[in-house]
Chains A and B, each alone.
Chain A
Amino acid sequence: GNSVTQMEGPVTLSEEAFLTINCTYTATGYPSLFWYVQYPGEGLQLLLKATKADDKGSNKGFEATYRKETTSFHLEKGSVQVSDSAVYFCALRSQGAQKLVFGQGTRLTINP
């Protein structure tokens, strides 16, 4: 079945550091890939998405590239801020499938 694996957390960085959160997936065909962010006490918000191979999703300084050859969708940001502290979820949705398949989430804490 389809699955998503994210790097283990928690991740703690200093402000202005470079961020990478790894995400790899297993799926048949060509799924759409998503990064969701959950701020403390809130629901999930879509951060970015990519719907086909080599697409780059970007938003709020975050980027992720859909790599079919490595089945990956790693999240990156060049300079993180304290306000980026949250839990980040990688997810996929296969063609014709109703549900999103989520990774386990990575908790990110940014210290000033």
Chain B
Amino acid sequence: NAGVTQTPKFQVLKTGQSMTLQCAQDMNHNSMYWYRQDPGMGLRLIYYSASEGTTDKGEVPNGYNVSRLNKREFSLRLESAAPSQTSVYFCASSEGTTAAYEQYFGPGTRLTVT
């Protein structure tokens, strides 16, 4: 099992450009998540999908959109990138919604917006 995979690993964008971050999991998990990690702030939830066909906003959704393409894949789109979106983005998945279920994380995408 590959677990949670993310592409690309690194990306540099100019202000105003758009891009999509891809995430896939092969653990048959129901729930998937997108977080961003900024220095000294831990991880903050952008969007999540509790199950296939549903998506909901997290703490910091502004400037992002998501698509739960199928049970395996959950993409994050930046329509018009801004320097404030420079961050490391992590995708995660979990088996269910109960608090005891752990979340499994991908390796991250390092995004720089100039």
Contacts and interface: CB of A to CB of B under 8 A. Distances in A.
14 contacts: A42-B107, A43-B4, A44-B43, A44-B105, A45-B105, A46-B103, A96-B99, A98-B97, A99-B45, A99-B59, A100-B43, A100-B103, A104-B42, A105-B42
A97 B99 contact: yes
Interface residues of B, number: 27
B106 A98 contact: no
B2 interface: no
Given A99-B48, A105-B42, A43 B108 contact: yes
B30 to A, nearest CB: 11
Contacts, number: 61
Where chain B touches its partner, the secondary structure class is: loop
Interface string B38-53: 0011111100101000
Given A43-B106, A98-B50, A32 B100 contact: yes
Interface residues of A, number: 26
B100 A100 contact: no
B75 interface: no
Nearest to B90: A43
A46 B107 contact: no
B9 to A, nearest CB: 10
Interface centre among B31, B41, B102 (most CB of A within 10 A): B102
A94 B99 CA distance: 6
Contact of A104 (B41, B92, B100): B41
A49 interface: yes
A102 B43 contact: yes
Given A98-B50, A98-B56, A103 B42 contact: yes
A73 interface: no
Interface centre among B43, B56, B108 (most CB of A within 10 A): B43
A25 interface: no
